[in-house]
A and B are shown apart, each in its own frame.
Chain A
Amino acid sequence: MEAAMGLMRRIPPKHSEAALSALLSLLPHHSADLLSQVDQPLQVLCDVDSGKEFILCEYNRDADSYRSPWSNKYHPPLDDGLYPSQELRKLEMEANDVFTVYCDQYYEGGTSSVYIWENEDEDGSRTADGRRGYLEEGSWEAIHVIEVVPLDEATARYCLTSSVMLSLTTNDESSGAFNLSGSIRRQMNMDIPVDEGHLCNMGRMVEEMESKLRYSLDQVYFGKTKEMICTLRPPSELVQTSLPEQINK
Chain B
Amino acid sequence: MSDEEETQPTDEQKIEIAKWFLLNAPAGEIQYIAKDMKAVLQDETLYITAAAEAFPLYNKSHMICLDFPDRSGEVMVTSFSEIGENEYLDPRTAQVAIVDHVNQVCRRARPANDEELPTPYIEEYRYALDIEVTKYVSEVYPKGICSVHCVNGKDVEEPGMDFELVVVISATRLSPQNFCNGSWRSIWNVEFKDEAQLVEVRGTLQVGAHYFEEGNVQLDAKHECKDSTMFTVKLELEYLSPEDSAHSVTTIICHQETEYLNSLQTSYSKLPDATFKDLRRKLPVTRTLFPWHNTSQFSLRKDIQKSLGLEKKK
B221 contacts A177, C-beta separation under 8 Å = yes
Cα(A80)–Cα(B215), bound, Å: 37
Query: A149: nearest residue on chain B (CB-CB)?
Result: B311
The residue that A10 contacts in the complex, of B33, B41, B173, B266, with Cβ under 8 A, is: B33
Cα(A221)–Cα(B183), bound, Å: 16
Cα(A22)–Cα(B268), bound, Å: 33
Dominant SS at the A interface? helix
Q: Give the Cβ gap from A179 to chain B, nearest Cβ, in Å.
A: 5
With contacts A106-B284, A185-B215 known, is A4 near B21, CB below 8 A? Answer: no
Tell me which residues across on chain A come within 8 A of B290, comparing CB atoms.
Answer: 101-102, 105-106, 203, 207
Q: Does B152 sit at the interface, judged by CB under 8 A?
A: no
Tell me which residues across on chain B come within 8 A of A234, comparing CB atoms.
Answer: 140, 142
Query: A91: nearest residue on chain B (CB-CB)?
Result: B303
A235 contacts B36, C-beta separation under 8 Å = no
B279 contacts A140, C-beta separation under 8 Å = yes
Q: Does B241 sit at the interface, judged by CB under 8 A?
A: no
Within 8 A of A (CB), among B183-224: 183-184, 205, 207, 209-224
Q: Does A52 sit at the interface, judged by CB under 8 A?
A: no
The residue that A3 contacts in the complex, of B39, B268, B314, with Cβ under 8 A, is: B39
Tell me which residues across on chain B come within 8 A of A22, comparing CB atoms.
Answer: 17, 20-21
Q: Give the Cβ gap from A72 to chain B, nearest Cβ, in Å.
A: 16
Q: Does B79 sit at the interface, judged by CB under 8 A?
A: no
Listed residue (A8, A133, A222) with the most chain B CB atoms within 10 angstroms of its CB: A222
Instruction: Give how many B residues have a beta carbon under 8 Å from the other chain's beta carbons.
Output: 96
Q: Give the Cβ gap from B32 to chain A, nearest Cβ, in Å.
A: 7
Tell me which residues across on chain B come within 8 A of A90, comparing CB atoms.
Answer: 303
Q: Give the Cβ gap from A245 to chain B, nearest Cβ, in Å.
A: 14
A214 contacts B282, C-beta separation under 8 Å = yes
Within 8 A of A (CB), among B172-187: 172-173, 180-184
Cα(A101)–Cα(B214), bound, Å: 30
Tell me which residues across on chain A come within 8 A of B263, comparing CB atoms.
Answer: 174-175
Q: Give the Cβ gap from B135 to chain A, nearest Cβ, in Å.
A: 13
A221 contacts B217, C-beta separation under 8 Å = yes
B173 contacts A231, C-beta separation under 8 Å = yes
Tell me which residues across on chain A come within 8 A of B220, comparing CB atoms.
Answer: 12, 14, 177, 179-180
Tell me which residues across on chain B come within 8 A of A177, comparing CB atoms.
Answer: 220-223
Within 8 A of B (CB), among A61-100: 85, 87-88, 90-91, 94, 98
Tally the A-B contacts, defined by beta carbons under 8 Å: 278
With contacts A87-B310, A231-B142 known, is A26 near B17, CB below 8 A? Answer: yes
Query: B314: nearest residue on chain A (CB-CB)?
Result: A123
A107 contacts B280, C-beta separation under 8 Å = yes
B17 contacts A235, C-beta separation under 8 Å = no
Listed residue (B8, B14, B184, B296) with the most chain A CB atoms within 10 angstroms of its CB: B296
Within 8 A of B (CB), among A167-194: 168, 170, 174-186, 194
Cα(A88)–Cα(B17), bound, Å: 42
Tell me which residues across on chain B come within 8 A of A221, comparing CB atoms.
Answer: 217
A225 contacts B219, C-beta separation under 8 Å = yes
Tell me which residues across on chain B come within 8 A of A178, comparing CB atoms.
Answer: 219, 221, 264, 267
Cα(A199)–Cα(B278), bound, Å: 27
A26 contacts B9, C-beta separation under 8 Å = yes
With contacts A207-B289, A218-B272, A232-B173 known, is A87 near B303, CB below 8 A? Answer: yes
Q: Give the Cβ gap from B231 to chain A, nearest Cβ, in Å.
A: 15
Query: Assuming A105-B285, A138-B279, A163-B215, what are 11 further A-B pairs, CB within 8 angstroms?
Result: A13-B216, A106-B281, A135-B275, A139-B279, A150-B311, A196-B292, A197-B293, A217-B276, A225-B209, A228-B173, A232-B141
A-B contact pairs, 17 of them (CB 8 A): A12-B220, A28-B4, A106-B290, A135-B279, A139-B279, A150-B308, A178-B221, A178-B267, A183-B216, A200-B292, A200-B293, A216-B214, A220-B215, A229-B182, A232-B182, A232-B183, A235-B265
Chain A contact residues, CB within 8 Å of chain B: 2-4, 6-16, 18-19, 22-23, 25-28, 85, 87-88, 90-91, 94, 98, 101-102, 105-108, 123-125, 133, 135, 137-140, 150, 153, 156, 163, 166, 168, 170, 174-186, 194-200, 203-204, 207, 210-211, 214, 216-218, 220-222, 224-226, 228-229, 231-236, 239
